[in-house]
Chain A
Amino acid sequence: MKKLKRLRVIFLLLIAAVVMGSPFFWMAISSLKPNAELFSWPPTFVPRHLTLDHYTTALTTRGFERYFLNSAVVSLISMAFNLVFCSLAGYAFARLDFPLKNFLFLLLLSTMMIPVQVTLIPTFLMVKSFPLAGGNNIFGQGGTGLLNTYAGLVVPHIMSVFGVFIMRQFYMQFPRELSEAARIDGAREISIFTRIFLPLGKPAMSALAIFTFTQAWDDFLWPLVVTSDRNMRTLQLGLEVFKNRYTADWGPLMAATTVSILPVILIFVVFQRYFTDTALSSGIK
């Protein structure tokens, strides 16, 4: 009886794995089939021929390398900013006392409710009229400001409130005595943070790094709005090259899509545990 139940669970797990995983399987298989086979009917589930032609086409398409580079730069910069500032703020909200602490934390949290559409236009205008950049004068007029620059691209991603939340949840779990002992010994607040809590924060910071990297890598709307120069577009916009309104160059498109997912999948596989922790800590406490 017990064994039967186990078999049933495994059966369901497998079905769910097929449903959730098959789109990836199909993407990968399609990217490796030569065109003749890709467009044959009925489709083949095990390809008769394998080829890397579509990858060659995708990677040598004008601009593709540049899109990839742009995405990597934007995601890494955003990640670095988040690591520094979210851990500082998360630590302060978790372990230091200061007036208005709860109010300020709730204020930050409540910004997560604001739809991106509300901040989109004002942020665009701020980036466009940044003083003394992109041909702008001191009043931010006359030029393009930070449009089509890395600085403009990273702006919405550099200090994630969710990141602060992750770090706060993490630092809350340590006993009060840990900081008290150091304070009695006369350690300064800043060294309590850098000597004790920063090293302890590694698991949460890994999760934060992964989370903020993928957030920036994933973004589509903001790069769409803030870049018009082809050289500054990111990979998410670059995929559009392989597709027009009604059809697409399916082989190269699937190859390019695979390439666009690979970095996040690699990070995910390596740091899987931290990914899981991020989601779990965002739950209700």
Chain B
Amino acid sequence: MLTAFIFISPVLVYNIIFRIAPIFVSLYLSFTKFSGFGSAKLIGLVNYSRIFGDTQFWSAVLRTLQFSVEVLPLNMLLSLLLALLVNTGLKGMSVFRAIYYLPVVTPMVAASMIWLWLYDPQIGILNFLLSLFNIPPQNFLRSPATAMHSIVAMRVWRGAGWNMLIYLAGLQGISRNLYEAAAIDGASAFKRFLKITLPLLRPVHIYVLIVGLISTLQSFTEMYVMTSGGPLESTTTVGLLIYRAAFDYMDMGYASAMSFILGLIIMTLSVVSFTWRREKEVAE
């Protein structure tokens, strides 16, 4: 027993200091005015009442949610399709699997730089490809109407490989007998997919959804690198707003209050998705 505690204590102590204690420090700072230098001054609920009326913050929240709402279904669809393709078990499949997985290991900054180049309005390859179909050149990241969607496309590309593997694990867990029985009963391939594959993958869907929510709602790097939040704030996420408040304006109290609300949003949505999974399971 002593051995066990020695084994876990470094990780436990580290995570208490650097993951759990910061929650309380953040909560405390959110009730203060603090520039990062000197001492924090308690000001009660001032930061929270300021957030309440801060339209810039709430539009960033909506924008971040919109980002998740666009990325997650597209990502799930693409990953599931890739997983189904890879699951066919042809020879040389590991090469395809590796290609689909490559964007996952690519650092976010590198991925952002590559797509910045693809999206270049004057000489980018995407506008050239569009011109082959007589589509007029797009401004992609330079137009408030398309900037966020352009980042969404990059994120879907970068994340699909990871979820593909998770779906693959799910697909391989489904018993072959089910498909054989359904085939004998005369169910078409599409119907088998709809009635067997999709429902049995539900735990995987929920898992992918929760992990995706947690990560997309914190998005920062791709916006910082590709657009710096512009044009006209159209890609300013909550993550970016918090960074600016804390490290550009040295308004750490207010930044902490914003990060706390972001944390609450993420926690609420994750718990809702999780209990939704539980309830569905109990109902069956």
Q: Which residues of A contact B (CB under 8 A)?
A: 6, 9-10, 12-13, 16-17, 19-21, 23-24, 26-27, 30, 39, 41-43, 85-86, 88-89, 91-93, 96-99, 101, 104, 107-108, 111-126, 128, 155-156, 158-159, 161, 164, 188-190, 193, 214, 217-218, 220-221, 224-225, 236, 239-240, 243, 245, 248, 250, 253-254, 257, 260-261, 264-265, 267-269, 272, 275-276, 279-280, 282-284
Contact = CB atoms under 8 A, between A and B. Distances in A.
The 9 closest A-B pairs by CB, nearest first: A122-B22, A279-B165, A92-B7, A122-B25, A189-B3, A96-B4, A117-B259, A89-B11, A111-B19
Best-surrounded residue of B25, B29, B107 (most CB of chain A within 10 A) = B107
B11 A164 contact: yes
Contact of A125 (B10, B36, B88, B114): B36
Best-surrounded residue of A9, A21, A89, A164 (most CB of chain B within 10 A) = A89
A268 B165 CA distance: 15
B203 interface: yes
Contacts of A24: 102, 106, 114
A20 B96 CA distance: 10
A121 B255 contact: yes
Given A122-B22, A236-B109, A261-B107, A96 B90 contact: no
B10 A88 contact: yes
Instruction: Name the interface size band of chain B.
Output: 35 or more
Interface string B1-29: 10111011011101101111111011001
B169 interface: yes
Given A26-B114, A92-B4, A111-B15, A284 B204 contact: yes
B144 to A, nearest CB: 15
Contact of A239 (B113, B115, B120): B113
Nearest to A283: B169
A83 B230 CA distance: 40
A23 B157 contact: yes
B259 A118 contact: yes
A106 to B, nearest CB: 12
Nearest to B238: A117
A108 B165 contact: no
A113 B267 contact: yes
A245 to B, nearest CB: 7
A267 B101 CA distance: 13
Interface of B: 1, 3-5, 7-8, 10-12, 14-15, 17-23, 25-26, 29, 36, 81-82, 85-86, 88, 90, 94, 96-103, 105-111, 113-118, 120, 123, 125, 128, 157, 160-162, 165-166, 168-170, 203-204, 207, 214, 217-218, 220-221, 224-225, 228, 238-239, 242-243, 246-247, 252, 255-256, 258-260, 262-263, 266-267, 270
Contact of B96 (A13, A113, A236, A250): A13
A55 to B, nearest CB: 15
A260 B107 contact: yes
Given A118-B22, A121-B29, A155-B18, A268 B266 contact: no
B220 A221 contact: yes
B128 to A, nearest CB: 6
Contacts of A17: 96, 99-100
Given A17-B100, A26-B125, A9 B88 contact: yes
Contact of B165 (A156, A236, A276, A284): A276
B127 to A, nearest CB: 10
Nearest to A24: B102
A159 B23 contact: no
A39 B105 contact: no
8 contacts: A27-B117, A93-B8, A96-B4, A122-B25, A159-B10, A268-B105, A272-B94, A276-B165
Contacts of B98: 268-269, 272
Given A16-B81, A254-B113, 7 more contacts: A16-B100, A89-B10, A108-B12, A117-B238, A117-B239, A220-B107, A264-B107
Contact of B106 (A114, A264, A267): A264
Contact of B18 (A91, A97, A119, A275): A119
Given A86-B11, A276-B165, A115 B1 contact: no
B140 to A, nearest CB: 13
Contacts of B259: 115, 117-118, 120-121
Contact of A265 (B102, B238, B262): B102
Best-surrounded residue of A112, A188, A218, A265 (most CB of chain B within 10 A) = A218
Contacts of B3: 92, 96, 188-190, 193
Nearest to B166: A283
Contacts of A101: 4
Nearest to A119: B22
Nearest to A276: B165
B208 to A, nearest CB: 10
Given A119-B19, A120-B246, A16 B85 contact: yes
Nearest to B89: A9
A96 B157 contact: no
A89 B7 contact: yes
